[in-house]
Structure 1
Amino acid sequence: MPFSIQVTDPTKANELAKVMTDSRWVDPHWKILFEDGTTADQVISETAQRLPYNLTSRQDKRHQMAVDHVTGEVVGTARWILPEHLRDPKLKTWPEARVPSPSIEDDEKFRKDFEDATDEEGRIKHLRWDLMEVRNTPLEEIDARIVHSHGPFLTLDYLSTAPHYQRKGVGSALLRRGLEVADANNLSTYVTASPAGLKLYLNHGFEIVETFSLEYADFGGTEPVVDYFMIRKPEQKS
């Protein structure tokens, strides 16, 4: 199944949202973050509404997608966060992964669609924010400590592969693009991984620097959720 890596295209928002949701909806620790009765189709629809604005409004992010050569469908996507010292547009860091600025008309539409798909505080709809706080607060504390002690990093914010395309090299290809940029800039790479993604990152030179496990039975969790904080040091040029 041949595929190519391209800059993420906002017009593919529906396909991107489906990949992002379908790849995680099978994870009970992710699905439980949403209010009872929320369907995958709802999450896909509202994610697709938010995506174009998110893709085009943040200069510190880089986005790529994997596209099947035969069908033209999006089969994977990744979002990276640049360290602060590489965010100046004049530096033109990783230009092939920078989503082009939209027209004035598109920007207005993207902004309106985003607002329609978020609550009055600009947050994702249908999430259980009380559970999100319980889950996220300790992760944010660990994250801040690691960034302070070991940064700066090129950070992998998320990596998703369509379920029917998993174990076909898409995740590795998207990951390698970022690692090449990190090595070229002598940067360590940082990711917070779930158990499902652990092997991929270990196979690409990441090491676990901290592990966090949380019981949340009060919110319906039936087993601990585990997160691995991982760092890969840059490979030295020969």
Structure 2
Amino acid sequence: MPFTIRYATEQDAPNLAIINIVSFRHQPMWDNLFPSVNIDGVLPLKTARCLDKLVSPQVHVVAAVDDETGQIIGYARWVIPGEPTSVVELSPVGAETLAGHANGKAYPENMRKDVHARFWDMLKGKQESYVQEDDFVLEFLATIPEAQGKGVGTALLRWGLERADARNARVYLEATTDGYSLYRKFGWEDLEEMRMDFTELGGRGAQSCIESDTCTAVYQVLGED
């Protein structure tokens, strides 16, 4: 499967949102966060969140595109400190969409906001403990199921690692356990495991995540951003 890595555009946002949903809806986090919300109810939020990331300073959103079909088959979000911004200038329609969803914070009705708050409080605490000023941060990486095992995730990972290596910078990761083997292959070491018990909030099950960077390692659950 030949593919090209390029910067994402405003027009890509709906497809990026779908990849986000498809890649993470099997996780316990999803069922507890959106227990009675269907995909159509979540898609506007995810699309607005993608637009918000596209216009965020220092956030580089890169997509893997199938050379034959033009389909986006995966994408990653890299935060590169001090890097000239890759901000996308939104069209009036894109800007209206983003503003209409409170910059990605207009959550769907029946979303478990208490689960969301607990998770992000835990995540923020880990980031404050481990992320240093000059660290690169891999915020997100996902591929569609059909493209998994075909080098797409590796290429999206290498895109940021090459830039980090040029600065001799560490890279902090936040990932589900689905990506654990890939990051271990590239030399990350576990720092800490975070476990969120959804039963404490009246939900079901639990989710464990590990945290990681290129000298050490921190893995967290991704996909709800």
Q: In the alignment, what sits opposite 1:109?
A: 93
Q: In the alignment, what sits opposite 1:37?
A: 36
Q: Does 1:233 align with 2:210?
A: no
Q: Secondary structure at the match of 2:131?
A: helix
Q: In the alignment, what sits opposite 1:52?
A: 51
Q: Secondary structure at the match of 1:232?
A: coil
Q: In the alignment, what sits opposite 2:222?
A: none
Matched-pair contact (CA < 8 Å) for 2:140–2:175: no
Task: Extract unaligned runs of 5+ from structure 2.
Answer: 217-225
Q: Does 1:5 align with 2:5?
A: yes
**What is the deviation of 1:177?**
0.6
Task: Extract unaligned runs of 5+ from structure 1.
Answer: 93-97
- CA offset digits 1:22-49 (Å, max 9, x no partner): 1111212223212x32112322244224
Q: Secondary structure at the match of 1:113?
A: helix
Structure 2: how far apart are the matches of 1:117 and 1:31?
Answer: 22
Q: In the alignment, what sits opposite 1:145?
A: 129
Q: Does 1:136 align with 2:127?
A: no
Residue identity matched to 2:69? T
**What is the deviation of 1:223?**
2.9
Structure 2: how far apart are the matches of 1:158 and 1:203?
Answer: 18
Structure 2: how far apart are the matches of 1:79 and 1:19?
Answer: 13
- CA offset digits 1:14-73 (Å, max 9, x no partner): 211111111111212223212x32112322244224433431x21211110001111110
Indicate which of 170, 179, 186 corresponds to 1:188. 170
For residues 138-177 of structure 1, the aligned pairs below 5 Å read 138-148=122-132, 151-177=133-159
Q: Secondary structure at the match of 1:208?
A: coil
Matched-pair contact (CA < 8 Å) for 1:51–1:114: no
Q: Does 1:197 align with 2:160?
A: no
Matched-pair contact (CA < 8 Å) for 2:28–2:206: no
Q: 1:124 to 1:79 in 2, by over 3 A?
A: farther
| TM-score normalised to structure 2 length | 0.86
Question: Looking at CA atoms only, which structure, 1 or 2, has the larger radius of gyration?
Answer: 1
Q: Secondary structure at the match of 2:191?
A: strand
**What is the deviation of 1:147?**
1.9
Q: In the alignment, what sits opposite 1:68?
A: 66
Structure 2: how far apart are the matches of 1:166 and 1:221?
Answer: 30
Q: In the alignment, what sits opposite 1:16?
A: 16
Structure 1: how far apart are the matches of 2:60 and 2:161?
Answer: 13
Residue identity matched to 2:153? G
Structure 1: how far apart are the matches of 2:213 and 2:49?
Answer: 30
Q: 1:41 to 1:147 in 2, by over 3 A?
A: same
